Amino acid sequence: MQGRFETGNHLEGVIDTIVQEVGEASEPQWRIVGQQMPTVDELLRKYEISGTIDGILQVKNDGKWVSLGVIDKKTASSHVFDSINCENDLNKYPWTAKYKAQVLLYTFAYNFDQGFLLFVRKDNLYDMKIITLDMDYEYIEQLLQKASKVNEAVRKGEPPPKINDIKICPKCPFYAYCAPELVMGQDIEMIDDKQIVALLDELEEIKEAVARAREIKKKLEELLPRGKDIVVGKYIITYSPSGRRKIEKVEE
């Protein structure tokens, strides 16, 4: 866990440097200033809402830097990165929908008309896009009402009313304790099969290994001399007349 934390901190610094480079090379130029500033707003404080913004997005216009609004940086897998290109696309995933709430609350606190999300592709940190979020005061009111209910529940020492959302509940850290009776629709059948569960668990465990194996095979395709039989380390690599490659490990 500590390793992940330290890696995250290191990566954040790398991303900040790349963001600066990309902004300087863009036309018009843009930059992020005032990073890690706490929100200061009396209304949000009343609802016990606080946070720290990644910064303010500025664009260079006629030689002067103009502040456009609060911006928050998010890394995303290629699949998610490619699927989000506008504000409405944030509703495709439960976690990206939360990004909208976060940024607009910060935007409200700093009294801007727009907020921004900077998405960075995880496997190519130089590939990034900015999503514009227009201020929505009706949505802000809904968020404040939610905060009010949560705060009241905390004061009473009672949990707020349960929800039953198949898209949200399984990802909630309190899922096992809340145990909601999820409504899944008429076409879904609940079954109890330990073998299926065991196989799915195993599949989940090896997903990363499979992805890594694909990366290694792709790299080997680049490195190995095609059609040439070689010995490298403990491995003998040969090719059949049809061009099929065979890799054998020499046992010691």
What residue ranges do the domains of the chain occupy?
Answer: 2-156, 162-190, 194-249
- What is the enclosing helix (H) or strand (E) of 116? strand 114-121
Cβ–Cβ contacts within 10 Å for residue 65, how many?
Answer: 13
Task: Measure the CA dihedral 17/22/24/25, to 10°.
Answer: 140
Instruction: Give residue-wise pLDDT tens across range 187-239.
Output: 556 677 788 888 888 887 787 777 778 888 888 888 888 888 888 888 888 88
Peptide bond before residue 28 is cis, with ω within 30 degrees of 0: yes
Instruction: Give residue-wise pLDDT tens across range 145-161.
Output: 988 888 888 888 877 77
Instruction: Give residue-wise pLDDT tens across range 71-87.
Output: 999 999 888 999 999 99
- Domain 2-156 grouped into CATH 3.40.1710: no
Report the percentage of the chain scoring pLDDT > 90. 35
The amino acid at 217: K
The pLDDT score that the predictor gives to residue 65 is 96
Instruction: Give residue-wise pLDDT tens across range 116-135.
Output: 999 999 889 999 999 999 99
Q: What average pLDDT does the segment 179-192 reach?
A: 62
The reported pTM is 0.62
Question: Is residue 15's pLDDT more than 60?
Answer: yes
Q: What is the DSSP string of 132-148?
A: EEE--HHHHHHHHHHHH
Decide: 53 and 37 in contact? Cβ < 8 Å.
yes
